[in-house]
Structure 1
């Protein structure tokens, strides 16, 4: 094995560990989200990450089932973005911050890791990230639905949680097939 291959392999390991640690941080953040502003920020950034990651997977995934799942993530998270925006347009959400237009540093790093993944390691990297991201989002939706400070957004979280839970189970299943 050449030094270049070893360095590339090491970088993939570091990226995977960084994503896993980021997933733990995201889980902790999602579990403590109680305010509408925190919820909107996290939900919007999560949708943006899913859409961007899905677009990359459409181009790079080696397996047809992974590309199909990526396409579904783009569709469902675009829908979620529109539903969140509709919830924010209700009178009960007056004063809640607008959803951010950019990814946070953690999820931008995950996107970078996807772009850096080797061709033969891409599908696994994508699926690993999808499991982490959907675990975080399930926690966010369930936690806010149970104890959030805005009834309109609690309703959105409650209706969105089952979709995200199905995504999580599907991504776990795809990962097992690898």
Structure 2
């Protein structure tokens, strides 16, 4: 097989997960605004590394990325990052929880406060194995100072675990136009690389 074809194949494999990234518009049609239940909005959605959060908001709002403590207390003095301008795209670059608040006085703490907690999962296409019982540990033995005449014991068989395979995540309905554009641009890029390496 041609070296350039092999290189092209690996480039395609590296770009593949990002071709299917999703843009989530925070709050959907309501955007980043007062009176929106962002906990409810985020529930049922699966946010993956490579996806983006898109905040759309008016001039009286901003978006601060904060740590968990500042999220709970609605404090923005130690913001990790601040976004302003009415239309902010936040790339989700690592797995774990990420927190956002509106730093405008009273907006985070009000009823229907402007705060969002998102749990980002790894962009894995391989399902994790489930139903495998954990290894059993044998109880610790106490040393004896005199020779023992008790018969040797055999370890008990591992108990059978009743596990079920989790159902696949629900479709969260977050389809962005930019995903198709990204896929199209990525396809052109990969095609250009393949042609460049072959020529």
TM-score norm. by structure 1 comes to 0.25
Larger radius of gyration: 2
Considering fraction of residues, name the structure with more helix. 1
Considering fraction of residues, name the structure with more strand. 2
